[in-house]
């Protein structure tokens, strides 16, 4: 028999785990404090413009004052879960005492409701990075995320933190081998903002048994994923399909037929405006396109699917968390590259993968200071986002500025796709592949 393990030595992993749990708890408390202070005392837009989609959400909810409700009397550009949550919060806000600003109670209630999702993104990023590359990388990812500007600004003005949380939750459940829970999460995410269904691409490969038998696609785990997804979507869709199927379907027609905006496809189309949704909310055959497409959307989508399918059919080691994470990043990058539209809040979907991909972990020097490449990329994305927001208020007479922003951002998205592919190649190489946390700034 070998020598017994000293109690002090055996306790060290537990102590390290407890310390990391405390660190994450401290980080969550600090981030929540910043968020609450922002919600109470700051407004998105600063001195340039006082604007966020919270105002738009309130305008849509105000239709209920006249007896009109989403998907019963008018359609929305995203599925029913958030519009009806927004209606419930607005109706609750009307029960509050009168405020000095009519927007106050709805704004606060909406921000407080979205706050758990915003904090959940930080927790999931920490867990995914820890499970994939180790706890040190997980702590670094969480700490870096908590200090980025875009997560704070997006939470303060849009509901994307809710959708991104469901997106990352599905990724985490796939990594943790929870097929039924992953399928249900994919279904809920799809009914929030469509894009959270993207992890399904990895899930069906992850839960397919090794081997090339066609029967593998019908494994019990895959049946749980697909079944959970289908049942969840069916249950969440049923009230609206049974009430006004025509209005419900317009949401999905809008996604397919909407014109391009703020992408290279919009530049090709000669369009330099922001995304516009049809104002014909109360009709079932609205005009959804504001300008014609020079390259048909279906052709661009088909090209993206073919490229993605080629990568998807490579013999990657799908059981490995690192392969799953890298392919999630590749899937999102391809999706955004072929997508006809981009809005600044979409950056919230991208930044987690900038932090998770190991090619971006290497330090890059600026004089005597060495900072992880991921930080430089995140800061560049952020700068582009700020410039893009300012463009529509300050520089619309100079479309070359928007063109430069779009082309640079597209190049960064292509770089993410390359980094994801490099991670896949390195993970599946014959040589052992290990990740280490980015080096701290000296």
Residue 57: CB atoms within 10 A of its CB come to 23
Question: In terms of Cα–Cα distance, which of 248, 253, 243 is closest to 286?
Answer: 253
φ, ψ at 70 (rounded to 5°): -65, 140
Per-residue pLDDT tens digits for 114-127: 999 999 999 999 99
Q: Which two tokens stand for residue 152?
A: 């704070």
User: Please, which pLDDT band fits residue 165 given cuts at 50, 70 and 90?
Assistant: very high
In angstroms, the CA 390 to CA 45 distance is 9
pTM tops 0.85: yes
Mean pLDDT over the full length of the chain? 91
73-112 per-position pLDDT tens digit = 999 999 999 999 999 999 999 999 998 889 999 999 999 9
The full set of domain ranges for the chain reads 20-427
pLDDT at residue 301 in the model:
93
DSSP 294-349: SS-HHHHHHHHHHHHHHHHTS---TTSHHHHHHHHHHHHHHHHHH-SB--GGGHHH
């Amino acid at each position: 028999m070998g020598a017994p393990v000293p109690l002090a030595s055996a306790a060290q992993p537990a102590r390290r785990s407890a310390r990391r749990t405390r660190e994450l708890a401290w980080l969550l408390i600090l981030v929540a404090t910043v968020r609450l202070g922002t919600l109470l005392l700051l407004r998105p837009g600063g001195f340039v413009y006082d604007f966020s989609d919270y105002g738009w959400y309130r305008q849509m909810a105000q239709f209920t004052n006249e007896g009109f409700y989403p998907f019963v009397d008018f359609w929305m550009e995203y599925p029913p879960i958030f519009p009806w949550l927004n209606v419930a919060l607005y109706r609750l806000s009307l029960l509050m005492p009168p405020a000095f600003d009519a927007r106050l109670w709805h704004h606060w209630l909406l921000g407080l409701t979205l706050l758990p999702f915003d904090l959940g993104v930080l927790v999931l990023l920490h867990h995914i990075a820890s499970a994939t590359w180790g706890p040190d990388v997980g702590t670094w990812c969480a700490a870096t995320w908590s200090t980025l500007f875009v997560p704070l600004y997006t939470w303060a003005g849009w509901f994307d933190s809710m959708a991104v949380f469901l997106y990352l939750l599905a990724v985490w459940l796939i990594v943790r081998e929870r097929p039924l829970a992953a399928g249900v999460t994919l279904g809920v995410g799809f009914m929030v903002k469509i894009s959270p269904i993207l992890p399904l691409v990895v899930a069906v490969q992850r839960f397919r048994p090794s081997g090339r038998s066609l029967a593998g696609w019908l494994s019990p785990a895959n049946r749980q994923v697909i079944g959970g997804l289908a049942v969840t979507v069916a249950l969440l869709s049923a009230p609206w399909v049974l009430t006004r199927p025509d209005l419900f379907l317009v949401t999905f027609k809008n996604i397919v037929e909407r014109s391009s905006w703020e992408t290279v496809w919009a530049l090709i189309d000669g369009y330099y405006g922001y995304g516009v949704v049809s104002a014909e909310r109360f009709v079932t055959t609205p005009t959804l396109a504001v300008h014609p497409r020079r390259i048909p959307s279906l052709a661009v989508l088909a090209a993206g699917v073919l490229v993605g399918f080629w990568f998807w059919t490579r013999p990657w080691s799908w059981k490995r968390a690192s392969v799953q994470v890298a392919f999630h990043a590749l899937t999102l990058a391809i999706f955004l590259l072929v997508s006809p539209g981009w809005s600044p809040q979409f950056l919230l979907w991208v930044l987690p993968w900038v932090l998770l991909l190991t090619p971006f972990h290497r330090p890059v020097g600026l004089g005597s200071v060495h900072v992880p490449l991921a930080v430089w990329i995140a800061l560049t994305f952020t700068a582009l986002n700020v410039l893009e927001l300012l463009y529509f208020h300050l520089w619309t007479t100079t479309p070359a500025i928007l063109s430069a922003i779009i082309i640079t951002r597209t190049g960064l998205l292509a770089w993410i796709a390359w980094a994801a592919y490099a991670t896949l190649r390195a993970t599946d190489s014959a040589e052992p592949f290990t990740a280490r946390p980015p080096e701290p700034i000296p």
